[in-house]
Amino acid sequence: MSLKEKDFMPKEELRALQLKRLQETVERAYHLVPFYRKKFDEAGVKPSDIRSLEDLKKLPFTTKQDLRNHYPFGLFAVPMDRVVRIHSSSGTTGKPTVVGYTRHDMAVWTEVMARTLLMADVSEKDIVHNAYGYGLFTGGLGFHYGAEALGAAVVPASGGFTKRQLMLMKDFGATILCCTPSFALHLAEVAKEEGYDLKKDFKLRAGFFGAEPASPGLRKAVAESWGIQYVEAYGLSEIIGPGVAASCEYGSLHVFEDHFIPEVIDPETGEVLPDGEEGELVITTLTKQALPMIRYRTKDITVIHREPCKCGRTIVWIESIKGRADDMLIVNGVNVFPSQVEHVITKVEGVTPNYVIVVDKKGVLDKLEVWVEVDEKMLTDGVGTLERLQKKLEEELLNHLYINAKVKLVEPKTLERSMGKAKRIVDRRELSS
Ligand code: DLL
């Protein structure tokens, strides 16, 4: 079976493969990781209770806190001499989460990354400019191995040095760009400033963007400014890194289901939700050896779809991640994700998709300010125009998201640009309480 054919496996065959792999994973986790054995025993389940895929829901969840509690290698299911790679998430507070890979895990990761890149038929004909950070972050090396396996020429640019990256992209004739959506937008912005013609000076045909949420408006802005196919890449270090899911030409984010089982749960009750309902994504790995993850709570909010996708892939698809449960804001009782605010902003003429959300507390209520950079060309217009623009943004936020937010227009290029994951929220609530 070719790599691409794995996405099109007959459903029955896929289910049988998943069940066999799930049973093996659960068996290994139970016998090799004391943490899992204890949790299963407490929940009164044994590996032999997993007789069908539906039985998955009998198993307890695993969380980031569990990884932290067993820092650094306590959840590994293999001795360290079988581990060939270690990555870790940055973690802003406390210890980072640490993940390990055996040689077999590296082969799995390479395969799912190659399948991600095949969403735009990457081949030995391509030059892949990889501007994801290299290092402990999984983005850089994940894309690197996948692209190399397909025979493409990889340029391991890593993050930063925007102008030099543009020079290399042009001079080397990069056909594929890999980076966060916010960095792709920043690259476009700097390219224009430097006098490049984005469509004529570059040979880009597709980009693989992920590691942070991007609203439909931002995705469109990136795709249109570069004139490329936008492929979304989704994943997380705890599961494997990038390579958990990738979007096809119809924009559906297909999960590589022969390696990862997705479920969506109600984040409050832990109840598995029916397909089509929004909730927290939970993932179980089926082939990972060093760090099997059983029902890992990602905190990412999405919806699972089992209806067939027009592309013909038989593997399930999920909607673009709306955001992390941690990043959800509650403004006057209304839940809102930064990506929803972003979507509204990107639909209004006269501002750029560069913004931050400043959250403050006023009494018991959250107060929201949205700082948005205006377009260069608006500056020549009078104050009246800017006031109208501000009012328009406030109205749109109220009409679409039902939130009362104060919009502050700021001058072009004054908000901080990120080379990796963009920071969209400035939370002042703790300071003021
Ligand atoms: O961000 C892995 C990755 C690298 C994915 C490159 C895609 C491309 P972590 O640093 O562990 O791993 O962060 C994982 O990032 O739980 C999501 O909240 C967020 N995330 C990743 N991809 C997307 C996406 C990498 N396509 C966390 N849309 C995840 C929205 C995403 N959020």
Atom of ligand 1 nearest to the CA of 238: 11
How far does the centroid of ligand 1 lie from the alpha carbon of residue 218, in Å?
16
Identify the pLDDT of residue 64.
95
Q: Is 131 exposed, middle or buried (0-12, 13-18, 19+ CB in 10 A)?
A: buried
Phi-psi category of residue 282: left, alpha or beta, with phi > 0 → left and psi -120 to 50 → alpha = beta
Query: Measured from the CB, is residue 323 less than 6 Å from ligand 1?
Result: no
Question: Do the domains 328-432 and 1-322 match in fold?
Answer: no
Which stretches within 173-212 are classed as H helix? 181-193
Query: Nearest C-alpha to atom 16 of ligand 1 is from which residue?
Result: 236
Ligand 1 mean position, distance from CA 210 (Å)? 6
Cα–Cα distances (Å) from 375 to 152, 172, 194, 346, in that order, read: 37, 31, 17, 12
The rounded distance, in Å, linking the Cα atoms of 293 and 376 is 48
Q: Per residue in 278-305, is it b (16+ CB within 10 Å) or e — as a string?
A: ebbbbbbbbbbbbbbbbbbbbbbbbbbb
Question: What per-residue confidence (pLDDT) applies to 427?
Answer: 86
Q: Tell me which of 321, 326, 342, 419 to substitute to probe ligand 1's pocket, judged by most ligand atoms within 8 Å of the beta carbon.
A: 321
Angle at 130 between CA 125 and CA 135, to 5 degrees: 140
Is the pLDDT assigned to residue 262 strictly greater than 80?
A: yes
Percent of the chain at pLDDT > 90 equals 89
Least-confidence region, from 32-41, 85-94, 159-168: 85-94
Domain boundaries, the chain: 1-322, 328-432
- Measured torsion, CA atoms of residues 110, 112, 113, 119, in degrees rounded to the nearest 10: 140
Q: How far apart are CA 261 and CA 282, in angstroms?
A: 8
Interval 134-160 mean pLDDT:
97
Tokens read off for 177? 């760009």
pLDDT of 356 higher than 90 = yes
pLDDT at 32 over 60: yes
Amino acid at 73: F
pLDDT tier at 412, thresholds 50, 70, 90: very high
Query: What's the pLDDT score for residue 11?
Result: 97
Considering the chain, what percentage of its residues have pLDDT values greater than 70? Answer: 98
Whether residue 233 has its Cβ less than 6 Å from ligand 1: yes
pLDDT above 60 for 433: no
Per-residue pLDDT at 93 = 65
What average pLDDT score do residues 375-391 get?
A: 88
The three-state secondary structure class of 315 is: coil
Q: Is the C-beta atom of 213 inside 6 A of ligand 1?
A: yes
pLDDT in tens, 303-352: 999 999 999 999 999 999 999 998 888 887 788 999 999 999 999 999 99
Of the two residues 419 and 357, the one the predictor is more confident about is 357
Write down the architecture of domain 1-322 according to CATH: 3-Layer(aba) Sandwich (3.40)
CA of 396 to the centre of ligand 1 (A): 29
Give me the sign of the Cα torsion angle 400, 211, 328, 432: negative
Q: What is the pTM of this model?
A: 0.95
Q: Does ligand 1 have an atom closer than 6 angstroms to the CB of 342?
A: no
Domain topology for 328-432 = GMP Synthetase; Chain A, domain 3 (3.30.300)
Q: Where are the beta strands (DSSP E) in 238-379?
A: 241-247, 253-255, 260-265, 278-285, 296-305, 317-318, 323-324, 329-331, 334-336, 351-362, 365-374
pLDDT tens for 80-128 read 999 999 999 876 667 889 999 999 999 999 999 999 999 999 999 999 9
The angle at the Cα of 132, spanning 131 to 133, to the nearest 5 degrees, equals 110
Rounded distance from Cα 243 to ligand 1 centre (Å): 10
List the single range of 167-181, 358-372, 390-404, 410-424 with lowest mean pLDDT. Answer: 358-372
Mean pLDDT over each residue of the chain, to the nearest integer: 95
